[in-house]
Amino acid sequence: MFDLLVELGGKLNIRNHQELTPLTLAAKLAKKEMYEHILKIEREVYWTFGDVTCAAYPLDHIDTISSTGEINTNSAMYHVIYGDKQEHIDMIEGLIGNLLDQKWKTFAKFRFLRRFIVFTMYFAVFVVAFSLRPGTDTDPKIRPENRTNSAGQTFLVNNTIKNPCYLQRTKTWEDYTRLVLESIMVLGATIYILLSLKEVYHQGYKIFFQTLKSAPAKAMFLMANFFVLLMLPGRAACAFTYEDVMGVLAILCTAPYFLFFCRGFKLVGPFVVMIYKMIRTDLLRFFTIYLIFVIGFSQAYYILYRNRENTVFNNPAEAIMGLFIMSLAQFADTYETYYILYRDKAWTMFSEPFEAVMAMFIMNLAQFLDLYDSFSEFEELHYIPKV
């Protein structure tokens, strides 16, 4: 039927309301046979020798880069790469696979390795700069003061005064080194944010955020750069506590960016993609249900024992933490509370069902081993295009 329509004058470059051509529609729906059939119709054969054929394929609706240099989100390659069906993986073999391989070798591989080296150097600067940060004022001033007690006696007291602006002070070579490294950190964070804005300008918001969605480590590193810039007001205002908080958030969001570069190596790339998928699916569901039970039971205990002293359940926040510890079977940390409430009937009525449910949830963690068998073969092929 399709060949008949083509013979009667049907155009293969016509678009539907979704801006899809017959080729890109077949790619989006993962119809491999129809996709390959349309490719054979559109190609231009130069010569044939036995089973070997030399042909050229028009890249207008295949490549993700349009003729104007923009990202074509309706291209066949785009739908195959970001498709979530097993058939999409099968469609990578052949033309799209060869095109991806050539793109990786001629353009992406060099930029990927260059970015990896630059990030490694930036991370080393980050770690050294934070290692040289003093935790407190190392050169406080001692000011003698006269104090008078209730009996009217006067005595001399040495009062230690710490400078809240101690991070701005440069006296030793460690301070000068830290200042230089921190300047490099701020410069690097600014450059990365500007490069991200450039990507948004060229790719568009949709593709940029879709890239961040498929690579959470990259999104975290982008947040880390904002945290680095947010440290500047704290340094200027001598708010060292605020600056420390921003710094901790920055370093926590920077280290996982190594996972993004691990995707470029075949040895560990599939495992990284598999971990991402496990976090987005099974682990997210597990922790959601787990938190519902922990928070629900903890508040029930708080209502029962809010007036009883010497227990962790007389405070809502401590009740959540105490029940979380008990769900891990770590009774030593809450032994005193457990011993006090052990003979309480209300405690027995709530604790036994909770412990049974939590034991079932913890046992289900072992089933994540089966996820590896279901993901490994799929992700080993799937991780390459998305790097």
The more confidently predicted of residues 221 and 352 is: 221
Say if residues 329 and 351 touch (Cβ distance below 8 Å): no
Q: Give the whole-number percent of the chain exceeding pLDDT 70.
A: 76
Cα angle at 227 between 173 and 274, to 5 degrees?
A: 115
Predicted pLDDT of residue 137: 66
What is the residue whose two structure tokens read 């987005």?
Answer: 280
Q: Is the pLDDT assigned to residue 310 strictly greater than 70?
A: no
Q: Give the whole-number percent of the chain exceeding pLDDT 90.
A: 12
Say if residues 64 and 71 touch (Cβ distance below 8 Å): yes
Say if residues 128 and 118 touch (Cβ distance below 8 Å): no
Predicted pLDDT of residue 159: 67
Q: How confident is the model over 298-313, as a mean pLDDT?
A: 73
Give the closest residue to 42 by CA, choosing from 19, 18, 65, 26: 26
Say if residues 61 and 24 touch (Cβ distance below 8 Å): yes
Band (166; pLDDT cuts 50, 70, 90): confident
Give the closest residue to 254 by CA, choosing from 276, 222, 214, 215: 222
Predicted pLDDT of residue 157: 67
Calculated CA dihedral for residues 344, 346, 351, 357, nearest 10 degrees:
160
Say if residues 5 and 20 touch (Cβ distance below 8 Å): no
The model's pLDDT over 91-147, given as tens digits with 9 standing for 90+, comes to 877 788 888 888 888 888 888 889 999 999 999 999 998 888 887 766 667 666 667
Say if residues 148 and 159 touch (Cβ distance below 8 Å): no
Predicted pLDDT of residue 387: 47
Say if residues 190 and 162 touch (Cβ distance below 8 Å): no
What is the residue whose two structure tokens read 């498709």?
Answer: 83
Predicted pLDDT of residue 259: 85
Q: Is the pTM of this model over 0.85?
A: no
By the 10 Å C-beta count (0-12 exposed, 13-18 middle, 19+ buried), 362 is classed as middle
The more confidently predicted of residues 62 and 308 is: 62
Query: What's the mean per-residue pLDDT of the chain?
Result: 77
Say if residues 21 and 15 touch (Cβ distance below 8 Å): yes
Q: How confident is the model over 35-39, as a mean pLDDT?
A: 81
Lowest mean pLDDT among 51-60, 197-206, 288-297, 304-313: 304-313
The more confidently predicted of residues 56 and 331 is: 56
Q: DSSP for 317-328? A: HHHHHHHHHHHT
For 244, the token pair is: 């420390």
